[in-house]
Amino acid sequence: MPYTASYTFSGSTVISASNTQSNLTDMKEYVNGGISSSDLKASAKWVESSHLMQGSYNPINNTMNFMSGVSGSNISADGTESWMFDTPTARDDPATPVKADYPDTGATFYLEKPADVLVRFHASATSSFDGDATGVVRAYLAFDGTLVTNSYMAARPSADTVNHASATYDARDLNWFQWSNFYLKEDAAAGWHHIRLIGYTTTRQAILLNWGMTIEAYYQ
């Protein structure tokens, strides 16, 4: 049967929150399982009930799949900081550092068909100051292994970033640099894809105290 709201509001009707919520609930129930083939236009045969896909959630990679595309997000849990040291990236040659993965900052997702994919990333980064004002921390998004150069994020710690109230000078006590960026991958092919954060540090270490990533894919 076609969608019918529980309450109809006329010009003289007082709109209550409970009645409005009831109408919204009616709409959700109709869209998620209440649509029947008789509700669809049959003359043009542009769509059949079998073409309508109920949304599914994948708990492994925290994504949801709909008719319009894929959406999902990942946020680091407390105590799961991402550490990067200068040993694999810049200890041997700080002038030409090597980019490496920030641990545990990747996400994998699957596209049923070609789509435009919007990736948004944010992180709270910090690093220790070891007396060298030239030290820098840098990061980039990488889509399917390809560096996205315009997703550049950076921080340069200085003596002012040290929390002098700390007796131990734990690197996590330093001021945080707030990173955020996004990338739109147009016409991504059907199949598996991976997005991750890569970069380097010429300081002792770089730490992402927290980070999050959101992926939205829109089928063409």
Question: Which run of H or E residues covers position 218?
Answer: strand 205-219
Query: What is the model's pLDDT at position 187?
Result: 93
Q: Are residues 32 and 63 in the same domain?
A: no
- Total domains present in the chain: 2
Q: Are residues 28 and 72 in the same domain?
A: no
The pTM for the full model equals 0.62
User: Given the structure tokens 């109230």, which residue do they identify?
Assistant: 165
**156-206 residue pLDDT tens:** 765 554 444 444 445 444 557 888 888 999 999 999 999 999 988 888 788
Q: What three-state secondary structure class fits 116?
A: strand
Query: What is the model's pLDDT at position 146?
Result: 93
**92-104 residue pLDDT tens:** 777 888 888 888 8
Query: What is the model's pLDDT at position 163?
Result: 45
Amino acid at 29: E
Q: Are residues 62 and 18 in the same domain?
A: no
Query: What is the model's pLDDT at position 47?
Result: 61
Q: Are residues 172 and 87 in the same domain?
A: yes
pLDDT band at 48 (very low <50, low <70, confident <90, very high): low
Q: Are residues 130 and 205 in the same domain?
A: yes
Q: Are residues 1 and 105 in the same domain?
A: no
pLDDT band at 3 (very low <50, low <70, confident <90, very high): confident
Mean pLDDT of the chain: 78
7: β partners? none
Question: Which run of H or E residues covers position 17?
Answer: helix 17-29
Quote the CA–CA distance of 182 and 118 in Å, as a whole number: 7
Q: Are residues 8 and 112 in the same domain?
A: no
Quote the CA–CA distance of 125 and 103 in Å, as a whole number: 14
Query: Is the model's pLDDT at 18 over the cut of 50?
Result: yes
Provide the CATH number for the domain around residue 82. Answer: 2.60.120
Q: Are residues 102 and 32 in the same domain?
A: no
Q: Are residues 7 and 99 in the same domain?
A: no
Q: Are residues 34 and 111 in the same domain?
A: no
Which tokens sit at 169? 């000078």
Q: Are residues 9 and 35 in the same domain?
A: yes
Q: What domain range is 128 assigned to? A: 56-219
Q: Are residues 73 and 182 in the same domain?
A: yes
Query: What is the model's pLDDT at position 186?
Result: 93
**67-87 residue pLDDT tens:** 677 787 777 777 777 888 888
125: β partners? 177, 208
